[in-house]
Structure 1
Amino acid sequence: MVGRVLLMILLVLSSHSHATEPPEETRAVIQDLFPSATVIEDKLPDFPVYPVYQLQELLGYAYVSTDFVKLQGFAGKPITMMIGLDTKGRFTGVKVLHHHEPVFLHGLGEGPLTEFVDQYEGRSLTEQIIVQASSRSARNNSGNQVYFDGVSKATVSVLIINDSVLSSALQVARKKLEGFAQATPTRARQDFYEPLTWQQMLDRGYIHKATLSAEAVEAEVGRSLSDYPMDLEPVPGEPFSEVYYAYMNSPMVGRNLLGDQAYKAFRQRLADQGKVMLVLSRGVYPHISPDFVPGSTPSRIGLNQGQLAIEMRDLNWLEPGQTIAAQGAPAMDAMNLFRIGGNAGFNPGAESGFHLDVSLPRNHLVSDNARFTMPVTFAGELFETVELEPDPQQGREPVWVGLWKERWWQISLLVTSLALLTVFFARQKTLTRYPKLVHRFRWGFLFFTLFFIGFYAQGQLSVVNIYTLFLALWDGFSLNVFLLDPIIFILWTYTFVTLFIWGRGLFCGWLCPFGALQEMLSWLGQKLGLRQVRVPEQWHRRLILLKYPILLILVGTAFHSLTLAEQLAEVEPFKTSITLYFVRYWPFVVYALALLAIGMFIHKFYCRYLCPLGAGLAVLGRFRLFSWLERVKRCGQPCQHCKNECGINAIRKDGRVDYDECIQCLECVVILRDQNQCVDAIVRNKQRQKQARILATDAVGA
């Protein structure tokens, strides 16, 4: 008998051992995700996952993220990860296999990236995972919301990682895990409408009502509401909380609740790009807390469907004091439009479950908490089935939209400053008649560029952005990649447009944070009495060509090896100085400080001779439409005043301005407008005075 049992065990084990196994390197990564695994099968032929077993028990699946989603990271390439998901939809871990994110590769290092992905272990698809994009983001840990700590200076990268992890895990869960299968998809009928009263909509199931009594709350928390310092006891006969839910994509619901005109405006604004739920409540405990921030995720209510947490985010589209158009609607204490879906999507015709989280503080340290689940199913006649399963990404708000919303005030300030700079340059001929105004404006803007655009908003453009553009054009252009960083996108757009108007100097002289830092240190060097070295003309004309082969080498290398190109891009000291505030491995810091130190003796040394970004902009700047910097007959013949005053030596001996090198500081235009500095003006004034004296003498003689 014992022999037969042993034989059966050996047969079972041998059957697994004969199953095709993944390569050793892949197997080692999966083993880290499932430490108790005894059998790791090779990738399934019909679905790209690796089944993982402990003897005969299925532990879950491991898979490579790029087999399911290929969201491009900040460098324009997907971030490849191995992800483990157990049979209950919990993450066993996430391992980054390959990426090109420069801030991790050649900046912060791999440590912060590893710490971020380690947060997924033990978390579940039934939870709503929210990445803290910044330390200033509001956080509330109630409900199914789980907040992950983001990575400072790598917001875009970690948001892309989160989106990739959740989107891919959802596809695996729906295909392979019990309880996560998607019901037949539905959508709201657009031809179904008739005018109805509030009560008729409730009776027909077009609006769902959930009532929570004070007695139910007291029974759950185990104490009377009168024991809490907050006034939570409702008026006799009134509910503790009465919550209503309505699916606004349905004209039958939306038109009746908002009215024809308001609903038309709502649909135009939505533009079929999402699903929206109206949530209303009244009572002493409404569905949003007093400190709720419009446009954010609610902390008191949540939505689930088929075990999956459904994302809810306030649209902030309702007018203050807005009321319900349907006749007989009661007055509400709170009313919000929520965009719903997220990675999990949302099937409006299937059953879902709202939950209301009640938090009752006894004092500033201790609170009693309870959750009340409210099943929701809307009347089936509101919906029609969809033939094909919709794309899980369809109707979702792109990642970049959330980033732009969060940084709205930075965007507003940047756009305002760029508009002001544009007006200044457009009226330069008039404004340069006032030298003090020009100098004060320029230095004020340089401080703004360094401290706001550079250090705070992280808006330092780089030659790496050029790689991203070329590779995107080569592999298939997607605007979403460039929209991920709003500050960089706005600066690049503005720089590109102005290249064809004023040339490269507008960026290099006004909007480059490292350039501003160099200019400030150059000024400091002069004030400290450091000897200013003026590179001889013949050497200067040769050295300014160095940056062009550097640019060609970097761009050419990017098509061969993006990793190598990113390493070579360390010729730029921007990341060390502006992005990482000089907190980095010491050779990089020494290199950046050395360039700045040289710049205290040779004005803007790096910009003039080494900057590949400046070289690229100079090439495009040759297609400018105008040559704005006015020259007169005596410029260079014989006057050399502007050339001698030009710190960057962008004026030739014959008086011509070299727009490939000019940083548009406008100092030469100020000189040209100054009657006491411009030789041409001085000579003309003397001639006029001489002519006036001759005329005066002739008049006396007559």
Structure 2
Amino acid sequence: MAGRVMLLFACLMLLPSAHAELTDSKRALIQELFPKATVIEDKLSDFPVYPVYQLQELLGYAYESVDLSRLQGFAGKPISMLIGLDARGRFTGVKILSHHEPVFLHGLGEEPLFGFVDQYEGRSLREQIIVNTSNSRRSGKDTQGNVVHFDGVSKATVSVLIINDTVLSSALKVARTRLPGFTQAAPTRARADFFEPLTWQELVNRGYVVHWQVQADKIEESVGRPLSDYPEAPDVMPGEPFTDLFFGYINSPMVGRNLLGDDGYNRLLQKAGDGAQILAVMSRGPFTHLSDDFVPASAPDRLGMVQNNLAVEMRDLNMFDGTIALQAEGMPDFARQTLFRIGGNAGFNPGANAELRLNVELERNHLITDRTTLDVPVSFSSDLFETVEVAPLPEHTRQPVWVGLWKERWWQISLLVTGLAVLTVFFARQKSLSRHPKLVHRFRWGFLFFTLFFIGFYAQGQLSVVNIYTLLLALWDDFSLNVFLLDPVLFILWTYTFITLFIWGRGLFCGWLCPFGALQEMAAWLGEKLKFKQVRVPEHLHRRLILLKYPILIGLVGTAFYSLTLAEQLAEVEPFKTSITLLFVRYWPFVAYAIGLLVIGMFIHKFYCRYLCPLGAGLAVLGRLRLFSWLDRVELCGNPCQHCKNECGINAIRKDGRVDYDECIQCLECVVILRDEDQCVDKRLQSKRKGKPHILATDAAQPIEMS
């Protein structure tokens, strides 16, 4: 028995080394990242990297991203990459090992993904890499100083930002652990109790605000030409500096309170959020630190920062308003003044030396532009800081990916929240508003267009059963709210849908907020206008067919726990990705399937919603927990009147008059009928009893509909 125990113990001891051994396929990939490699060692036992050598010379390290960063992708699983980093901190390449990003696996294809990661080859950790996600973006190879712009991937913004964050954060760990020149100085922070009222000149004299300027002859020496050779060069008067620059670390109360005042200082820190590090930069003279076409709330176009050989991210906070403004006594007038959030993946140590890099571009003509970069030392007075015992990890100090996404899409978020607020008010007042049929119908069609074109086509807010996979798998493995915050539009829609399920049931989403549902509604309207024969599925068959979506849902969710890749493939039963996300630009079988469903919907109202939609099935299950039944019924409904049932396009009203909330899409047509004295049988009979002659005349023209 003791021998068996010893054997088991020996096997367990050998497991780590066995795991660290290179497979032939991985060795081949590392060889692609380092073509000159002659020796590729096994993974180190103390740090998860593969050292790569050319004979005795260290070329760099290869590593798997999941060993150093577990940031989850859009599907709730990390994107696994093999990354090469040379001995000088430059990327030799990035290889995708595995991923579950739906938009690449079953939408755009993987070529855009591979094209995106190819941009890292040759780029350095000393550069600030910014992924362009807006429509008006710069070229991926456009660089200014240490700022590099990468082309993003349309329809896959979240995925590529996650990849960028994973690549940079993991590479920083490798560089700081294994590469000379990237080690961090002792961490510092601003002294919270260090303050006294000072004038502007006193702040400058004591080194609390740093002053730096450069003369025109220095620029001419750097570019090798007089400024007169550049037609658009700034006019520099004799004795005037080319640029006059001031900057200070706002987090220090000595600097922040004196520059902004106590109220402005507190407001700024509250607005910027916990952990934000802020640098104030002011400039005057012919050449300022921002160009005339600088876009507020973006990265500066002329200014960059480097610390420990790493690019430090800078982004304009755009927070100067009536309550936050520079107001130090004796402060001169400045042409430009900016508050920058600083840090990013590399973090920022305020008490350690750093450099600002001022990029100067001078056009000789429309073909030739000369460039030079000026290094501005950043070294604040040591009186402002105190040493911190333990350095915080970069991933805990940098701004989460989702924060930047929410800020970037602020106007989409605002418009979506406004639309949801209007819809909520409309539904809360449906009983009074439904007395005005034209208003209800116009509002409904207007909102359906808003859902399809803004929420769906533009903001990409199509909820999917894949989102349910992500939630369940996250709860099963390691739940993180950050995964769901990565797409603000989807997060807001899911939150709103989940809350309203307990108030109105599934119908509010399915009937008003589903872009493909809106598209089906429009297809049905077109079918009626083209006078296609509308097929009413027999009641007994309809009651059986509506159950189909439930086993589809169970099968998809169950498959996700077995194989997420297979589940994502089976989720193509949803035509959402083809029609809404990719706008029908896809391999023809997917397009034929989506269009086929819409064509069927021109004959059978919302065929897909009624019988096939697994998302609708999942919402219907939760919708059974609703607290209210808003759709009123009266004694004559179904006994004998069938008017509402006959008008219900989705057939969610039973013969006995009851509303089937599992199927109802809350179009409110039955509510309008019930409150219309010309349509509702109960209202017409009440009018007869009261002896209203104009109602009797109407009654003679419109017979009562009964089974």
Q: Which amino acid aligns with 2:497?
A: T
1:17 aligned residue:
none
2:7 aligned residue:
none
Equivalent pairs, count: 674
CA distance in structure 2 between the partners assigned to 1:179 and 1:448 by the alignment:
54
Report the 3-state secondary structure (helix = DSSP H, G, I; strand = E; otherwise coil) of the residue aligned with 1:393.
Answer: helix
Q: Residues 393-408 of structure 1 correspond to what in structure 2 (within 5 A)?
A: 393-408=395-410
Match of 2:613 among 598, 611, 614: 611
Q: Residues 613-628 of structure 1 correspond to what in structure 2 (within 5 A)?
A: 613-628=615-630
2:461 aligned residue:
459
Report the 3-state secondary structure (helix = DSSP H, G, I; strand = E; otherwise coil) of the residue aligned with 1:108.
Answer: coil
The Cα shift of 1:613 comes to: 0.3
- CA deviations 1:457-486 (Å, max 9, x no partner) are 111000011111111122232111111111
Bigger mean CA deviation after superposition, 568-577 or 323-332: 323-332
CA distance in structure 2 between the partners assigned to 1:58 and 1:322 by the alignment:
51
Q: Are 2:125 and 1:117 equivalent residues in the alignment?
A: no
Q: Which amino acid aligns with 2:586?
A: R
- Could you tell me whether the CA contact under 8 Å between 1:433 and 1:674 is conserved in 2? yes
Q: Are 2:269 and 1:299 equivalent residues in the alignment?
A: no
Bigger mean CA deviation after superposition, 360-369 or 649-658: 360-369
Q: Residues 184-583 of structure 1 correspond to what in structure 2 (within 5 A)?
A: 184-230=186-232, 232-319=234-321, 324-583=326-585
Q: Are 2:33 and 1:33 equivalent residues in the alignment?
A: yes
Q: Which amino acid aligns with 2:28?
A: A
1:76 aligned residue:
76
- Could you tell me whether the CA contact under 8 Å between 2:264 and 2:325 is conserved in 1? no
CA distance in structure 1 between the partners assigned to 2:233 and 2:149 by the alignment:
30
- Could you tell me whether the CA contact under 8 Å between 1:209 and 1:243 is conserved in 2? yes
1:700 aligned residue:
none
Q: Are 2:23 and 1:23 equivalent residues in the alignment?
A: yes
Q: Are 2:669 and 1:664 equivalent residues in the alignment?
A: no
Q: Which amino acid aligns with 2:193?
A: D
1:698 aligned residue:
none
- Could you tell me whether the CA contact under 8 Å between 1:272 and 1:395 is conserved in 2? no
Q: Are 2:684 and 1:682 equivalent residues in the alignment?
A: yes
Any unmatched runs of 5+ in structure 1?
1-19, 694-702
Report the 3-state secondary structure (helix = DSSP H, G, I; strand = E; otherwise coil) of the residue aligned with 2:570.
Answer: helix
The Cα shift of 1:323 comes to: 5.5
Structure 1 residues 316 and 138: alpha-carbon distance in aligned structure 2, compared to 1, 3 A threshold: farther
Report the 3-state secondary structure (helix = DSSP H, G, I; strand = E; otherwise coil) of the residue aligned with 2:543.
Answer: helix
Q: Which amino acid aligns with 1:131?
A: V
1:104 aligned residue:
104
- Provide TM-score, normalisation by structure 1: 0.93
1:587 aligned residue:
589
2:93 aligned residue:
93
- CA deviations 1:619-660 (Å, max 9, x no partner) are 111111111111111000010010011110000001000000
2:170 aligned residue:
168
CA distance in structure 2 between the partners assigned to 1:501 and 1:188 by the alignment:
49
Q: Residues 52-71 of structure 1 correspond to what in structure 2 (within 5 A)?
A: 52-71=52-71
- Could you tell me whether the CA contact under 8 Å between 2:103 and 2:155 is conserved in 1? yes
CA distance in structure 2 between the partners assigned to 1:352 and 1:691 by the alignment:
89
Structure 1 residues 41 and 634: alpha-carbon distance in aligned structure 2, compared to 1, 3 A threshold: same
Structure 1 residues 92 and 550: alpha-carbon distance in aligned structure 2, compared to 1, 3 A threshold: same
Bigger mean CA deviation after superposition, 610-619 or 411-420: 411-420
CA distance in structure 2 between the partners assigned to 1:688 and 1:323 by the alignment:
71
2:704 aligned residue:
none
- CA deviations 1:109-145 (Å, max 9, x no partner) are 1111000001111111011111011322467632211
Report the 3-state secondary structure (helix = DSSP H, G, I; strand = E; otherwise coil) of the residue aligned with 2:684.
Answer: helix
- Could you tell me whether the CA contact under 8 Å between 1:244 and 1:279 is conserved in 2? yes
The Cα shift of 1:401 comes to: 1.4
2:657 aligned residue:
655
- CA deviations 1:46-96 (Å, max 9, x no partner) are 000000111211111000001111111111111010000000111010001
Give the CA RMSD over aligned residues. Answer: 1.8
CA distance in structure 1 between the partners assigned to 2:552 and 2:526 by the alignment:
29
The Cα shift of 1:221 comes to: 2.4
Report the 3-state secondary structure (helix = DSSP H, G, I; strand = E; otherwise coil) of the residue aligned with 2:578.
Answer: helix
The Cα shift of 1:199 comes to: 2.2
Any unmatched runs of 5+ in structure 2?
1-19, 696-707
- Provide TM-score, normalisation by structure 2: 0.93
The Cα shift of 1:228 comes to: 3.2
Structure 1 residues 321 and 676: alpha-carbon distance in aligned structure 2, compared to 1, 3 A threshold: closer
Bigger mean CA deviation after superposition, 662-671 or 258-267: 258-267
Report the 3-state secondary structure (helix = DSSP H, G, I; strand = E; otherwise coil) of the residue aligned with 1:312.
Answer: strand
- Could you tell me whether the CA contact under 8 Å between 2:268 and 2:324 is conserved in 1? no
Structure 1 residues 257 and 685: alpha-carbon distance in aligned structure 2, compared to 1, 3 A threshold: same
Structure 1 residues 268 and 470: alpha-carbon distance in aligned structure 2, compared to 1, 3 A threshold: same
The Cα shift of 1:576 comes to: 0.9
Structure 1 residues 682 and 230: alpha-carbon distance in aligned structure 2, compared to 1, 3 A threshold: same
- Could you tell me whether the CA contact under 8 Å between 2:645 and 2:657 is conserved in 1? yes
CA distance in structure 2 between the partners assigned to 1:559 and 1:82 by the alignment:
26
Bigger mean CA deviation after superposition, 216-225 or 510-519: 216-225
2:11 aligned residue:
none
